[in-house]
Amino acid sequence: MFVPGGNDAIKKKAIRAACAKIKGWVAELLPETLPLESVRINVREVICGDPECAPIDTAVEFWFGEQHPKVFDFS
């Protein structure tokens, strides 16, 4: 999702589109027994401070009701 250089508005639009695509993929992979209305999926970019990893990671959060989110990080 990292979009180097260029216009900020274009970068933001590209990032939003990529996040929406990832959110759709994740929703498709959820079990059919889990109603989509019962889970909130949040996709975002996070900055990684570890010099050994990519500068930007993609984080996917799953919110199930009032529980704390389950977070998965993809470098």
Backbone phi and psi for residue 68, each to the nearest 5 degrees, phi listed first: -65, 150
What tens digit of pLDDT does each residue of 23-59 get? 999 888 888 887 777 888 889 888 888 888 888 888 8
Within a domain: 52: yes
Domain count, the chain: 1
Answer whether residue 3 is part of any domain. Answer: no
In a domain, 38, yes or no: yes
> Per-residue pLDDT tens for 2-28?
556 667 888 888 888 998 999 999 888
0.85 exceeded by the pTM?
no
Mapped to the 3 state alphabet, what secondary structure does the chain carry? CCCCCCCHHHHHHHHHHHHHHHHHHHHHHCCCCCCHHHEEEEEEEEECCCCCCCCEEEEEEEEECCCCCEEEEEC
Q: Which structural domain range is residue 48 located in?
A: 8-74
Tell whether 60 is covered by a domain. yes
